[in-house]
Amino acid sequence: MSEPLLSWSHWDRCPPGAALAATDPEIATLIEAEIARQGEGLELIASENFVSPAVLEAMGSPLTNKYAEGLPGKRYYGGCEVVDKVEQLAIDRAKQLFGADHANVQPHSGATANAAVFLAVLKPGDTFLGLDMRALAREHKPKLIIAGYSAYSRVIDYAQFRAAADEVGALFMVDMAHFAGLASTGVYPNPVPVADIVTTTTHKTLRGPRGGLILCKAAHAKAIDKAMFPGTQGGPLEHVIAAKAVAFREALQPAFADYCKQVVANAQALASAMASRGWHIVSGGTDNHLFLVDLRSQGLTGKVAEHALDAAAITVNKNTVPRETQSPFITSGIRIGTPAITTRGMGVAEMARVAELIDRALRAAGDADQLAAVRHDVRALTSAFPLYPVPAGAVTA
């Protein structure tokens, strides 16, 4: 595979444009440096992705100027007739994408989406449970049972959580922040039909702007909307909501399902290439877009590994592993994800090369010359998969 999965045909260059370059060269130069960094590096952070030019344009639009507290048709400000239509499109597309009764597209982030759910369904002192342990549910009778992970590489059995919730009269919530894109295409199970409430980010596998989304059954719609505004947030970010609508439309296209299948195929190929080079993959492989490498058998910590890879322009994050023996600031593992490199157009063939580069960098930890050599080879690979068109004369990091 070598065709990028995003279409650049109507796009000449990324911001900054002439206005920013002329009025604030300091920020303009830094944006250009970040565009260059993203283009040159190998982005393997499982929660990151690259948005399309259409998403970027919606985010950078004058919709940011509009106050629109409330919901479409029920606002506290005048002049909302246009943004009402924007937000309604985002809501309708989100509902269609996941088969949801109700959608609130206003959360500024995954964290505020979760905060709003807690405000909507829990009272101070209420119990909630975040582990799949039936005995604990029977003992503590929680009001809310939550399933949701950011470093779990296998399929979640929603039916078991649902049964535990029903047994004790709890609501069942899923935080699908990481795998929402995969769930929207059926490449990974969609929790929306099974759960009472589902929260997510829109910027991870869903490949939209940085933000959040809440989907729920009709019975919880009013409580969720009220908890979002005025409960936890003020005015919605209508420019970001427009960008969410664009991303949802993209996710409804057949090409996005192909993308999601490729993300998983790449994660499986990369995990297996790492394993054949002697690295220990937690749970032996993956069913989704990410996996964990337990570094203990090679005498490395997550912190040292992250640092070595950074020096080679390979970006991952350190992560705790099962039966962790280090502090969360050190850890014994790294988390590796394929959503971003798949968006660039890399396929299974490139995963062997990526595994080789990671392997070389990890074995060269602490050796600046060897890491610089790996960095050179990383650039050779990434330059064959161009990302955003880099403005002429951009300062590179």
Ligand X SMILES: *Cc1c(COP(=O)(O)O)cnc(C)c1O
Q: Which of 20, 30, 31, 111 binds ligand X (CB under 6 A)?
A: 111
Task: State the amino acid at position 269 in one-letter form.
Answer: A
Task: Please list every residue from 10 through 49 that binds ligand X, using CB under 6 A.
Answer: 47
Report the Cα–Cα distance between both ends of the chain, in Å, rounded. Answer: 29
Task: Please list every residue from 273 through 332 that binds ligand X, using CB under 6 A.
Answer: none
59 binds ligand X (CB under 6 A): no
For the question of residue 259 being annotated catalytic, the response is no
Provide the H-helix boundaries in 52-193. Answer: 53-59, 81-98, 110-121, 134-140, 158-168, 180-184
Q: Which of 29, 67, 315, 356 is catalytic?
A: 67
Per the CB < 8 A criterion, the answer to whether 236 and 196 are in contact is no
Q: Least distance (Å) from ligand X to the CB of residue 376?
A: 32
Selected range binding ligand X among 137-145, 171-179, 233-241, 242-250, rule: CB under 6 A: 171-179
Q: Least distance (Å) from ligand X to the CB of residue 212?
A: 6
Q: Which of 32, 43, 87, 175 binds ligand X (CB under 6 A)?
A: 175
Cα–Cα nearest to 198, from 127, 97, 338:
97
144 binds ligand X (CB under 6 A): no
Q: DSSP letter for 212, please.
A: E
The CB-based long-range contact list for 68-72 (8 Å cut-off, 24+ gap) reads 68/235, 68/236, 68/238, 69/229, 69/230, 69/234, 69/235, 69/236, 70/229, 71/225, 71/229
Q: Which of 204, 207, 344, 360 is catalytic?
A: 204
Q: Which of 175, 196, 294, 350 is catalytic?
A: 175
Q: Least distance (Å) from ligand X to the CB of residue 316?
A: 15
For the question of residue 210 being annotated catalytic, the response is yes
Beta bridge partners of 104: 214
Q: Which of 178, 239, 318, 335 binds ligand X (CB under 6 A)?
A: 178
Q: DSSP letter for 59, please.
A: H
Q: Which of 106, 153, 184, 201 binds ligand X (CB under 6 A)?
A: 201
For the question of residue 238 being annotated catalytic, the response is no
For the question of residue 296 being annotated catalytic, the response is no
Q: Which of 109, 298, 315, 370 binds ligand X (CB under 6 A)?
A: 109
Provide the H-helix boundaries in 103-203. Answer: 110-121, 134-140, 158-168, 180-184
88 binds ligand X (CB under 6 A): no
Q: Which is nearer to ligand X, 47 or 288 (CB)?
A: 47
Q: Least distance (Å) from ligand X to the CB of residue 175?
A: 4
104 binds ligand X (CB under 6 A): no
For the question of residue 360 being annotated catalytic, the response is no
177 binds ligand X (CB under 6 A): yes
State the CB neighbour count (10 A cutoff) for residue 85: 12
Q: Which is nearer to ligand X, 20 or 194 (CB)?
A: 194
Size of the site for ligand X (CB under 6 A): 11
Task: Please list every residue from 204 through 223 that binds ligand X, using CB under 6 A.
Answer: 212
Per the CB < 8 A criterion, the answer to whether 128 and 145 are in contact is yes
106 binds ligand X (CB under 6 A): no
Measuring CA to CA, how many Å separate 218 from each of 59, 91, 95, 123, 322?
A: 29, 14, 12, 21, 38
Q: Least distance (Å) from ligand X to the CB of residue 148?
A: 5
* Helix, strand and coil percent figures for the chain, each rounded to 5: 50, 10, 40
Selected range binding ligand X among 175-183, 259-267, 278-286, 305-313, rule: CB under 6 A: 175-183
Per the CB < 8 A criterion, the answer to whether 296 and 353 are in contact is no
Tokens 């995990």 sit at which residue? 271
Distance CA 29, CA 198 (A): 39
Using CB positions, name the residue nearest to ligand X.
Answer: 110
For the question of residue 166 being annotated catalytic, the response is no
Distance CA 150, CA 46 (A): 9
Task: Please list every residue from 353 through 392 that binds ligand X, using CB under 6 A.
Answer: none
Q: Name the residues that contact ligand X, by CB under 6 A.
A: 47, 109-111, 148, 150, 175, 177-178, 201, 212
Active centre residues (catalytic): 67, 69, 175, 201, 204, 210
